[in-house]
Amino acid sequence: MLAVLSPGQGSQKPGFLSPWLDLPGAEARLRWWSTLAGVDLIHLGTAADADEIKDTARTQPLLVTAALLAAEQLPMHDVAVVAGHSVGELGAAALAGVLSPESAVALAGLRGREMAAACALEPTGMSAVLGGDADEVVAAIEHHGLYPANRNAAGQIVAAGAVDALAKFAAEPPASARVRALAVAGAFHTPYMAPAEAALDAVAGGVTVADPARILLSNLDGTSVTDGAEMLRRLVRQVTAPVRWDLVMKTLRELGVTGVIELAPAGTLAALVKRELKGDGAPEIVTLNTPGDLDAARDLIARHSTAPTHEGATR
């Protein structure tokens, strides 16, 4: 069984889209998606520097379009499972058939703009907490009035909230843990993003959805979502809810996934999967960063594909 993963914010690299523009129709596709997203995706993916593509309003549609562009080169009908990290869930929802690519790109543009605007309302941020006992780390985060915004893997939890509370938390780290400030615009996946959630909710009723054609795992709790309308509700809620990527990986293990492809710009999720799903039955992994990686990705799909099914996917 094979899973395709769509990365989230922080995975972008300057110029990473440049090699993809050589594919037939890719440039025209990106120009159309730029219109829907409200940003120049070609410039952002080829000529923009690291600071420019760090802007939430630009990064989010850029990542979703990159994943979709890469996935269009693959035989997705042979892929059983899809999942995405944070904004990557919009890409995963499109790959599952819940959203059209156009809806996913437009929603990513709106999501990015509104989350950037929410970040500007008051000084907030995020800090990675590395190591320590998970329960003790979460308790310490909440003790300081912060939120466990991301639980990416064992020993990798992200605290988010007001910058003064983050400073106090860093000065009093949990036992056996290190706290490292992250270069982000604000406290994503916390109640501070409520204005962005409201903006997405205001348009959700006009978005056409379908039930997923393959197993689609949710960041909310790691389970498979089989109803398109429910997935859209989760995508709206996700901007204020924690990302439980640890639970997504747990489900990948339970499903018996034997192969994983991370879409462009790849590396972050592949590293987490390699670390967490090791030992007997560890999945074979391909990172899809350039068109030169397509043959390896197609070969992996051919060797690990099974008929998509929702049977046994919900925990």
What are the beta bridge partners of residue 125? 161
Mean pLDDT in order along the chain per 10 residues (315 residues): 95 96 96 98 97 95 98 96 98 98 98 97 96 96 97 94 97 95 94 98 98 98 98 98 97 96 97 92 95 97 71 42
Bridging pattern class, strands 259-262 and 124-131: unpaired
pTM of the model: 0.94
**Which of the following is catalytic: 6, 11, 34, 86?**
86
What per-residue confidence (pLDDT) applies to 280?
83
189 is catalytic: yes
Contact residues for 130 (Cβ-Cβ < 8 A; gap 6+): 155, 156, 177, 178, 179, 180
Q: What is the DSSP letter of 218?
A: -
At 286, list the tokens. Answer: 């391909």
What per-residue confidence (pLDDT) applies to 279?
85
Looking up tokens 């989010």 gives 60
CB 95 within 8 A of CB 210: no
Domain ranges of the chain: 2-119+191-304, 124-181
Residues 95 and 272: their CA atoms lie apart, in Å, by 21
CB 83 within 8 A of CB 43: no
CB 63 within 8 A of CB 12: yes
What per-residue confidence (pLDDT) applies to 309?
47
Residues 84 and 50: their CA atoms lie apart, in Å, by 22
What per-residue confidence (pLDDT) applies to 134?
94
Q: Is the peptide bond before 24 cis (omega within 30 degrees of 0)?
A: no
Q: What is the CATH number of domain 124-181?
A: 3.30.70.250
Edge-to-edge strand ranges of the sheet holding 284-287: 215-216, 81-84, 2-6, 259-262, 284-287
Helix (H) or strand (E) holding 3: strand 2-6
What per-residue confidence (pLDDT) applies to 315?
39
| 2-119+191-304, CATH topology level | Malonyl-Coenzyme A Acyl Carrier Protein; domain 2 (3.40.366)
Q: What is the DSSP letter of 282?
A: P
CA angle (284 as vertex; 280, 286 as ends), nearest 5: 155
Q: Which of 302, 299, 290, 309 is nearest to 26 (CA)?
A: 290
**Which of the following is catalytic: 189, 218, 224, 304?**
189
What per-residue confidence (pLDDT) applies to 311?
45
What per-residue confidence (pLDDT) applies to 314?
41
What per-residue confidence (pLDDT) applies to 244?
97
Q: What size, in residues, is the chain?
A: 315
Q: Is the peptide bond before 265 cis (omega within 30 degrees of 0)?
A: yes
What are the beta bridge partners of residue 256? none
What per-residue confidence (pLDDT) applies to 81?
97
At 97, list the tokens. Answer: 């058939």
86 is catalytic: yes
